[in-house]
Structure 1
Amino acid sequence: MDKKLILTLLTVLTLFFTHYANAKTMKSHHKNAGLNCADCHISKPFEAAPMEQCLTCHELPQKKQDYHGAPDKHDSPHYGVELECENCHAEHETSENFCNNCHEFEFNVP
């Protein structure tokens, strides 16, 4: 291949990956804390951050009743065994109430 074609391909790839990285926005509380991608994505840049990495800043939630008297959503036989934080709490997308895939609960997920 000639140098011009190689340079063009490298430029296109660079622009693609730059756009991809910028398209994945961080939640404002993480951005305000001064975090960047490498703080969570410690193994490979485009793989999900492991739950252990979340726990370097966040503690496991205490299992208790909330202030309305409803059972705590983290007090589940699935939590920490079959499910990890990212099942509900998404960094680059809208968080979701994953429990409602099988159950019917009314609560918001931050």
Structure 2
Amino acid sequence: MRKIIILLLFCFIFENSYSDEQNRTIKPHHKEVLIDCRDCHGQIDKKDFKPVKTPVCLECHKSKQSLAEKLDFLKGKNPHNSIHDGLNLNCYSCHSEHKPSYNMCKDCHNTSTWMRDIK
């Protein structure tokens, strides 16, 4: 009986901490426009959520071309239309909603003079 109570308590704590963790780590700009988990992950239970793919991002962020055009001022150093990948990069190669994003360009390039930190 004691093991069952401990197991139930653990499940309750884990489920609540998962929800709180997801709410805490949503990006501030998405929080500002009142994005909900299901807006990206679909109308399913949280336990069934899967990672979001680029087409879901583009439902709000228009197209890869429009994102690239916003960074045209970088003159040849545009991460959304690079000489390496063109417009073919998956959003989650660099951007992440529930953990810090990753600047893949930094793997090979010094980006400190032309790219701000990815939020």
Task: Report the RMSD for the aligned CA atoms in angstroms.
Answer: 2.5
Runs of 4+ in 1 over 3 A off after TM superposition: 4-8, 68-71
Deviation at 1:30, TM superposition (A): 0.8
For 2:87 and 2:3, how far apart are their aligned partners in 1?
50
Deviation at 1:95, TM superposition (A): 2.0
1:19 paired residue among 17, 34, 42: 17
Q: What residue number does 2:7 align with?
A: 9
> For each residue in 1:45-95, what CA deviation from the matched residue of structure 2 results, as whole angstroms up to 9, or x when unmatched?
2x32111111111122134621x64532212232553x3111211212222
Q: How many residues align?
A: 105
Residue of structure 2 equivalent to 1:62: 68
Distance 1:100 1:70 in 2: 16
| Structure 2 residue aligned with 1:75 | 81
TM-score by length of 2: 0.68
- Specify which structure has the higher proportion of helix: 2
Instruction: Tell me which of the two structures has the higher relative contact order, counting C-alpha pairs closer than 8 angstroms and 6 or more residues apart.
Output: 2
TM-score, normalised with respect to structure 1: 0.73
The unaligned stretches of length 5 or more in structure 1 are none
Gaps of 5+ in 2: none
